[in-house]
Amino acid sequence: MKTQRAVIIVLYVVAMFMVSIDGTIVNVLLPTITNEFGVAPAATNAINIGYLVSIAIALPAAGYLSNRFGVKKMYLLSVSLFTFASLLCGLADSLQALILARVLQGLAGGIITPVSMTLLFRTFSPPERQNLSRSLVLPIAFAPAIGPLVGGLFSEYLSWNWAFFINIPFGLIIVLIGFYAVNEFELYKAPFDTKGYVLIAIGLPMLMLTLSLIASEGISLAVLMCAVIGVFLLRRFYVYEKQIKEPLLDVRLYEEPQFRSSSLVAMCSMGALMGMLYLFPLMYQYTYSASPLESSLITFTEALGLMVASKLLPGMAKRFGMLFTVRLGLIGTVIIFCCIAIIGPSANPWLLRGLMFAMGVCLGHSVIGSQISAFHHVAKSQMSKATTLYNMLNRVGAAAGIALVATTLTVTGRYLSEMLSYQYALIATVGLLLAGLVCSLFTKENETILKGEKA
């Protein structure tokens, strides 16, 4: 039993790390891909858009599939599909082939994320999860920070293909170990909510497409139409799911204050993090004409800060309570974001690395703490659907953070210098952190891990 628990921790970290890093590693390679295939830079946007939209299509069904067919089966199947799609991406000889392979990769990735969390949370009790904080933070927040660094190394010393080939050995190892070392979990059978799935499988991708297009092309009539359709369908989905007995996603979980507020805090924190990781390399490369590798060596220290946060969190939660710890992390991150915006990228690189490290420590407390708090009272039978809901908000938050930064750059760039535009875009991400802080005010302290409680 102890062996299986240890194996599940490893499988969770490796699988989530593989999926998370794949979302950012490609960004720094887009210019290389553009040159190799001889296409316009705007054409490569479909590589990321196809990936995000396909994730949004698969994600809502993950909870039902793991309950109906088994967490282990869906975990191994989705990792196998992701590995195969990674091979196809690396072998792609045209932009069209790469986009199709990325769509397949996104379909698998949309299932891996919530199923991996279900695998972990159905194995460990709420008190035990607090001691797994390092495992929780590594793939969620560490991977996006080192993705550009790995991508920069491949860009300079190997080729863009290795950004996908690197997934293959990890995927094979995960499948082999998981097949032999993990037992299947209890099944929870229920009819498939076809109408609900159709609503969200169209509405959520439309919303993700809107945010992606805003980030790459700005606001237009077509983008606004996608937004209206997406929001309308998601609203219809929410109302419908509350009315039926066996919903695809139990949106009634959002009526539980602790789960709702913690999920929203995590969404805002992830939006601010992804916005910063998207913006700072652009700002740094503009100032110093630096390479993607040089800029990623600055942002990489943020990932080290997150690792430190994972070690400090249990002690902080026990001493001050989880709710106070999350709020303190958000306030600290707001201060650091403002400092980076004020001093700009022309400051001493080591000062910037120090600020990025401190940002990782502070933001790590809010990201990990809110995740632990969100699932503190969720029953095992609801865990699959709860992790799906939680990850849906996280995906939307990440896309919204990037879209907010890109829109701010576009609007302010018409009236201000490029440097001031970058600084205003950084300030815009502070708004997401403040929104997360406001959401935390709706959490009742006695429903979280309290001061003095073992963590």
Domains of the chain are: 1-192 (1.20.1250.20), 254-455 (1.20.1250.20)
What pLDDT is stored for residue 371 in this prediction?
A: 79
Q: Is the pLDDT of residue 402 over 90?
A: no
Asked if 167 and 44 touch (Cβ cutoff 8 Å), the reply is no
Do residues 73 and 186 make contact, with C-beta atoms less than 8 angstroms apart? no
- Token digits for 14? 């490796």
The count of other CB atoms within 10 Å of the CB of residue 157 is 9
Cα–Cα distance list, 103 to 33, 259, 452 (Å): 17, 31, 47
Residue type, position 315, single letter: G
Inform me whether the pLDDT recorded for 41 exceeds 60.
no
Report how far residue 91's alpha carbon sits from residue 165's, in angstroms, rounded to the nearest whole number.
Answer: 9
Choose the most confident range, by mean pLDDT, from 17-31, 114-128, 306-320, 428-442.
428-442
The top-scoring range by mean pLDDT among 64-68, 169-173, 276-280, 382-386 is 169-173
Report CA torsion sign: 286, 333, 404, 109: positive
Phi/psi region, residue 344 (left: phi>0; alpha: psi -120 to 50; beta: rest), is left
Output the six-digit token pair for 98.
């790469």
Please say whether the beta carbons of 268 and 436 come within 8 A. yes
Q: Which among 14-18, 363-367, 369-373 has the top mean pLDDT?
A: 363-367
> Does residue 242 register a pLDDT over 60?
yes
Give pLDDT tens digits for 75-117. 889 889 999 998 998 888 888 888 888 889 888 888 888 888 7
pLDDT bin (cut points 50, 70, 90) of residue 240 is: confident
Distance CA 55, CA 22 (A): 12
Task: Give the relative orientation of helices 418-440 and 322-343 as an angle to the nearest 10 degrees.
Answer: 170
Place of tokens 């080939």: 165
CB 77 within 8 A of CB 62: no
Give me the pLDDT at residue 288, please.
64
User: Is pLDDT above 50 for 451?
Assistant: no
172: CB partners within 8 A, 6+ apart = 83
**Amino acid at residue number 144:** P
Give yes or no for a contact between 282 and 337, defined as CB atoms under 8 angstroms apart.
Answer: no
